[in-house]
Amino acid sequence: MKFRMGLVVGFGLGYYFGARAGRARYEQMRRRLERLRDSRLFERMQAAVELSVERMRPEEPSDIPLHLVEQAGR
């Protein structure tokens, strides 16, 4: 119950302060996020994540252990 009440209070405070900040603050945060997405660092991080995902993906379906295939079919 404490968690739920804290969640409601946190949401209410976020809404209140967000409404007070207004459109100007929203635009400022949006511009910063846009600059971050266009940055070289973000591109390198994105490439690293994509490479990691590719390495984890099996080459062929036969590389998947049989017990996992059977569980997926249930």
Reported as a pLDDT band with limits 50, 70 and 90, residue 4 is confident
Per-position DSSP letters for 20-64, written without gaps between them:
HHHHHHHHHHHHHHHHHHTSHHHHHHHHHHHHHHHHHS-SSGGGS
Contact assessment for residue 61 and residue 55, using Cβ atoms and an 8 Å cutoff: no
pTM over 0.85: no
**pLDDT, tens digit, 9 for 90 and up, residues 13-64:** 888 888 888 888 888 888 998 999 999 999 999 999 999 988 887 766 666 6
Q: What percent of the chain has pLDDT over 90?
A: 28
Contact assessment for residue 25 and residue 19, using Cβ atoms and an 8 Å cutoff: no
Reported as a pLDDT band with limits 50, 70 and 90, residue 69 is low
